[in-house]
Structure 1
């Protein structure tokens, strides 16, 4: 093959690759596709991934109240609406690592704290006896901000371990990047209604 033919083949291949939809170029061996290239469900995927699904607050609540949050454990995304619906935001999250740790339903934010400390629950200690109380700081699993739900021991909080976002990695809580939980913390007053789906 001549240099001219090699260059032409390279340019044709590069142009075709750039024209391929981004979704298809992003597929990996871990994400099977059907005969038309649509992604199919895959079990055992451990990398950060989101199966984002758009949410409407009207599908979950009768009114917006003081503010509204829908935490979607399938999409690994948290949806926020302010009291009049003019501010809608979506945040990537970590979600519980197992189904038995996942609590779904209606709750609300009852307390907020900057620089939270952390005490492991009895079930966490049963799984890992080395766990112990942690004061606020870089090693604390609750990150920089925490919003406590009316369900005991369930929170929406930050994390210093950014690898957890987009994964099934928590012991029941919904986790956000520290930068994003700081934003959400300011947006959500105590009394914000929450639904975990």
Structure 2
């Protein structure tokens, strides 16, 4: 009996040892160290019965495997986007900018701007240096010469920052104008005209002209005294033709601005004269024409163009100025002024013929629906009031630049 009991006890103990040995390995084959909490718990549960528990009850606790290269949910930090100063590779320029920033921090703006200008002079033609923010600050300064302002603006445009430069200029010019000071009118006009040059489409150009137009109407296209218009005292023997030539303008412009009813002038009378170099620009893509005086925006209007893109592009000059022109159609009788069939309207500004272009110019039209469309034989059409204004302003020899 003792022998049988001993054999039974040995079998039970041996089986338990075997089961414990097996369970030293996890289900995934990884060893479990003796004394591990899982090993202790599993052993205790197996000692309750000699039968192994159902597989579902084992519910092994897996030890997570750690691969050598592991993709986790942690987002690695992206490289920081460098500020303009950080893109500078030149230690000398970096030093100038750092010193300038210290001056700005102390409120010494003049010294800071001086160092910004020095940095710009060294870096303006380098592609590895981005001084956009510094140039925008330089544009805000009041003491910039026109040449430097144009360099700053050109720098921004070349780097795709033309819109920033435009908004900066528009805001700057408008703020000067809103001061309401007559001695600031010329400066405001200059700044706003610079914004117009930066404009890349009709919407932006209209934004500028919506500000400039009323200012010009009040101070130039009126009879009021204004610092934007010169006053000329007529001397004995003077005539409008001679005065107009002296100021690079036209008799018609003097008559319009001075409120004269004819070309007859009297000694000691005073005339309003707008002298300077005129230039005409036409943007075919926007059906827009504008006139500048010494680079400042003077007038702007919508136009009609040649059908099938026949209005030529390039540089031209005004050779013919004619009021109430007769229209000479090839193979047909001349069409007199005022005839509804006369497509030239009340004014004709003919371009000098070139090797590739002839018979082209700017003229009026009675067909108002043709403005903003391609419907002419190649000429530029304008509404009556617009073409008569342009005609009065521009003398012979005025350059015309047509682009698309």
Normalising by the residue count of structure 2, what TM-score does the alignment of the two structures yield?
0.30
Question: Where does residue 137 of structure 1 map in the other structure?
Answer: 338
Question: Where does residue 157 of structure 1 map in the other structure?
Answer: 363
Change (3 A) 1:54 1:154: farther
- Residue by residue, what CA displacement relative to the aligned partner does 1:174-194 show, whole Å, maximum 9, x if unpaired? 010011100010111111100
- Residue by residue, what CA displacement relative to the aligned partner does 1:18-76 show, whole Å, maximum 9, x if unpaired? xxxxxxxxxxxxxxxxxxxxxxxxxxxxxxxxx72657xxxxxxxxx831011111110
Q: Larger relative CO (CA 8 A, sep 6+): 1 or 2?
A: 1
- Aligned-partner Cα distance in 2 for 1:73–1:120: 25
Question: Where does residue 195 of structure 1 map in the other structure?
Answer: 401
Q: Alignment partner for residue 291 of structure 2, among 38, 58, 80? A: 80
- Aligned-partner Cα distance in 2 for 1:75–1:69: 15
Question: Where does residue 319 of structure 2 map in the other structure?
Answer: 110
Contact 1:96-1:171 at 8 Å conserved across structures: yes
- 1:52 matched to 2:209? The reply is no
Contact 2:290-2:297 at 8 Å conserved across structures: no
- Aligned-partner Cα distance in 2 for 1:53–1:87: 16
- Aligned-partner Cα distance in 2 for 1:178–1:195: 22
Contact 2:327-2:336 at 8 Å conserved across structures: yes
Structure 1 residue ranges (4+ consecutive) displaced by more than 6 angstroms after TM superposition: none
Normalising by the residue count of structure 1, what TM-score does the alignment of the two structures yield?
0.60
Structure (1 or 2) with the greater strand fraction = 1
Structure (1 or 2) with the greater helix fraction = 2
For the residue of structure 2 that corresponds to 1:74, the secondary structure is: helix
- Aligned-partner Cα distance in 2 for 1:90–1:192: 16
CA shift for structure 1 position 132: 4.4
- Aligned-partner Cα distance in 2 for 1:167–1:76: 8
- 1:179 matched to 2:380? The reply is no
Aligned residues: 128
Q: Alignment partner for residue 348 of structure 2, among 125, 143, 146? A: 146
For the residue of structure 1 that corresponds to 2:286, the secondary structure is: coil
- Residue by residue, what CA displacement relative to the aligned partner does 1:54-105 show, whole Å, maximum 9, x if unpaired? 57xxxxxxxxx831011111110111102x2344221110011112x22111
Contact 2:311-2:380 at 8 Å conserved across structures: no
- Aligned-partner Cα distance in 2 for 1:117–1:160: 15
- Residue by residue, what CA displacement relative to the aligned partner does 1:116-170 show, whole Å, maximum 9, x if unpaired? 011124xxx6xxxxx6421111411000011010132101010011111111111
Contact 2:315-2:400 at 8 Å conserved across structures: yes
Contact 2:347-2:364 at 8 Å conserved across structures: yes
> Which ranges of structure 2 fall in alignment gaps of 5 or more residues?
1-200, 206-275
Change (3 A) 1:146 1:54: farther
The structure with more radius of gyration: 2
Contact 1:138-1:160 at 8 Å conserved across structures: no
Question: Where does residue 35 of structure 1 map in the other structure?
Answer: none
